[in-house]
Amino acid sequence: MAVLPILVAPHPVLKQKAKPVAAVDARVAKLMDDMVETMYAAKGIGLAAPQIGRSERVIVVDVHEKGETPNPIRLANPEIVWSSEEKGICEEGCLSVPEQYAEVTRPLSVRVRYLDEKNEPREIEADGMLATCLQHEIDHLNGVLFVDYLSLLKRNMILRKVQKQQKASA
Ligand code: NI
């Protein structure tokens, strides 16, 4: 496994629509493992392949609480097949928009169909933090960042702060 560098917004790969994987073979399974390791190293709760420069429909999430056993979920070609009419507001952040947070409104519950690390088709029904995280990561596969839900003013303010930070740490 390997920890990979994470792209920071604005980066063109983050705005692309990612391509489905043909199947979860050894190559994709390795990508999933690398993404899990990269997510843990960055202390994130989710990561999408475009964030490490791979425009493929692969995400990993793990929303376990401190003190609980890690519970990574690896998903290829994830698709939201149902979402609740009821919505909730959650404060979101993103490893590609470091140290910036904002409230985003999304459906409270979703059902997601995907291929697991053994290429088995699966469905997961999620609510709360896991539902938010899955929707946020699937957005990445469509070139959407959480800041895209904010007003233009707020989005530009956040992206400017990120650029300034990046320059300061370069
Ligand atoms: Ni993100």
- The confidence score (pLDDT) of residue 105 equals 97
pLDDT in tens, 37-91: 999 999 999 999 999 999 999 999 999 988 899 999 999 999 999 999 999 999 9
Best CA proximity match to 126, nearest among 118, 137, 117: 137
Taking a C-beta distance cutoff of 8 angstroms, is the pair 162, 146 a contact? no
Q: Is the pLDDT reported for residue 1 higher than 80?
A: no
Which residues does the annotation mark as catalytic?
137
What is the C-alpha to C-alpha distance for residues 109 and 40, in angstroms, rounded to an integer?
Answer: 25
Q: Beta strands of the chain (E only): which ranges?
A: 46-48, 58-61, 73-83, 87-94, 97-107, 109-115, 121-127
**CATH number, span 12-169:** 3.90.45.10
8 Å CB contact between 14 and 143: yes
What band does 124 get if pLDDT is binned at 50, 70 and 90?
very high
Q: What is the mean pLDDT of residues 92-110?
A: 97
- pTM attached to this predicted model: 0.96
**Distance, CA 144 to ligand 1 centroid (Å)?**
9
What spacing in Å lies between the alpha carbon of 170 and ligand 1's midpoint? 21
- Cα(75)–Cα(60) distance, integer angstroms: 6
Compute the distance from residue 58 Cα to the ligand 1 centre, in Å: 13
> How many angstroms does the Cα of residue 67 sit away from the middle of ligand 1?
24
